[in-house]
Amino acid sequence: MPLKIPLPNWLKRPARVTAIPDENSWQALLPARHVERPFWPPTAPADRPWHNLAQDLDDALEAWRKNFLIRQIVRLTTAYVVGDGITLSARHPYATTWLRQFWQHRQNRMPTRLAQWCDELTRAGELFIVLFPNPIDGMQYIRAIPARQIVAVETAPNDYESELAYLEQATEPGDRDAPPFTRRWKSPLTAAPDEPCMLHLAVNRPVGATRGESDLTPVLPWAQRYAQWLKDRVRFNSIRTDMATAWIKVQDETAISRKRMEYAANPPTGGNIFITGPGEEISFPAANIDAGDASPDGLALRLAIAAGANLPLHYLGEGASATRATAAEMGDPTRRHYRMRQLEFANFLCDLAATAWHRRNAILGTRDVEPDIAAETPDISREDNQSLAQAAHTIVQAFAIMKQNGWIDDRTAITMAFKFAGEVLTEEHIHQILQKGGESRRT
C-alpha cells in the first residue's frame, strides 16, 4: 500500500510573485497577473509599501466621491490655488507665441485641466503628466495618468531624486523594456525628443521618498467616523419616530370598537395606536435618545477634521463659533498653506511648458533658447491687495524723503518699494527700470 504524506498548507497555496532577472535595473519581485495588489518594493528609503499607498489612494478617491466634507476640502484647495486661472508667459518673443498655441491647443485646453489637476494633487499628493510629441510640427499633447496606476518609480543609482522612468499598471503584457503587465514611461532625463515622456509632481513628500502623500490621508479616518456618526443620529431619530405611540381615550364605551377600526384604517402615526375606555390606562417608556448630549461629540469630530485639513471651522460652514476678528486670524495659516501649494503647482506648470518647448525645438532642429517662462497666479486673498497698496504708498513717500536727503540711492529705493508692494524683483529687472528711468529723464 503506497504511503500518503499530506502536504502542508503553505505548499498548496499558489505563488503570488515571480522573481525574474531584469536588465533594466528593476530589482523587483514581479507580480503575477492574478494578484490584485502586487508587492512593489519601495524605491527610496522613506517610500511606503505599494499596497499601503494604493489603499490610501483608493480610499481618498472613494471618500471624495461620497463624503461631503472631503469634497469640500478638495474644492476649497482648488478654489484658492487655481482660482480665476493660472497663465504662463515667456520673455522670449517667439516662445511667447508658441506658448500661447501650446496652452490653448484643442488637444490640451490647459485652462480647463488646471482644476482637475489640482483636485488630483490634493487627493493623491502626486501628478503624473505625459507629453506626447507631434513629429510634424513639434507640438506636445498633454495627458494625465492617475497616481493609482503608477506602481513604481525608477531612479538613478544612489540618487533617488533623479527619476528616470515610471511603471504604469496595465492589463496587456506590456512593453519589452518593462516588467509584465506594466508600461514604462521615460522621464525627460532619459526620453528622446520623439518619445513620450512623463513629468512627476509630488507634494507632502518626506526626505528620502519618491512618492508624495495625499492631503486627505490624516483626515480620512475622522471624516468616515463623522459620516457614520451622522448616519447613526438620523437612524436613531427615525427609530424614535417609528416608536411613537398614540393613546386615545374614548368616553363612550360603545364607540371603542368603531374608533379602533377608524384609526386602524387612517393611523395618525407610524407606531402603535392604543384606544382605551374611561376605566383603562396604558403607560410605556418614552423613546429619548438625548440628542443634545451628542452635540459635543460631533463638534470634536469636526474639529479633528478641520485641524487635519489645516482649515478653520468656518471654512466648513461652522460659522456660529467664530466672530469676524477670530475668523480673520484663523484664516491666515490656511491662506499661507494655499499660497505654498499655489507656488508648487505654478512652478510645475512652468517646468512642464519649458520641457515641451525644448522637446519641440529638438524635433524641429531649431535653435533652442531659454524661454524664461513665468506663471501669473490669482490672489489668495483680495484683502491683501489693499494692505499691500497702503504699505507701498506709505513707504514710497518715506523713500522719496530719504532720497532727497541722500540717505539711499535709487537701486535701494526701488528694491525696498517693490518688496513692500509684495513683489521681489531680480537684479536684471531693477537694472532695466533704472535704465528706462534715466532715459526718460534725459528726454
Q: Quick one: CA dihedral 208, 209, 213, 218, positive or negative? A: negative
Identify the pLDDT of residue 439. 58
DSSP 174: B
Phi, psi angle pair for 183, to nearest 5°? -120, 135
Half-sphere exposure of 344 (CA within 13 A, CB side): 21
Phi, psi angle pair for 176, to nearest 5°? -70, -25
Picking from 102-106, 119-123, 213-217, 285-289, which range would have the lowest pLDDT averaged per residue?
285-289
Please state the separation of Cα 162 from the chain's center in Å. Answer: 24
Picking from 72-81, 326-335, 344-353, which range would have the lowest pLDDT averaged per residue?
326-335
Alpha carbon separation from 139 to 43, 88, 194, 363 (Å, rounded): 33, 17, 11, 9
Q: pLDDT tens for residues 109-124?
A: 999 999 999 999 999 9
Residue 351 has pLDDT above 80, yes or no: yes
Contacts of 334 (CB under 8 A, 6+ apart): 310, 311, 312, 315
Q: How confident is the model at residue 37 (pLDDT cuts 50, 70, 90)?
A: very low
Identify the pLDDT of residue 10. 43
- C-alpha grid cell for residue 139? 507640438
The Cα–Cα gap between 252 and 231 comes to 45
The Cα–Cα gap between 103 and 96 comes to 10
Q: How confident is the model at residue 25 (pLDDT cuts 50, 70, 90)?
A: very low
174's torsion region: left (phi>0), alpha (psi -120 to 50) or beta?
left
Q: pLDDT tens for residues 131-186?
A: 999 999 999 999 999 999 999 999 998 898 999 999 998 877 666 666 777 889 99
**pTM for this predicted structure:** 0.73
| Cβ 48 vs Cβ 58: under 8 Å | no
Identify the pLDDT of residue 43. 80
Residue range 75-91: mean pLDDT, rounded: 93
| Cβ 426 vs Cβ 411: under 8 Å | no
Q: Domain residue spans in the chain?
A: 30-215+311-380, 220-310, 384-433
- Percent of the chain exceeding pLDDT 90 equals 41
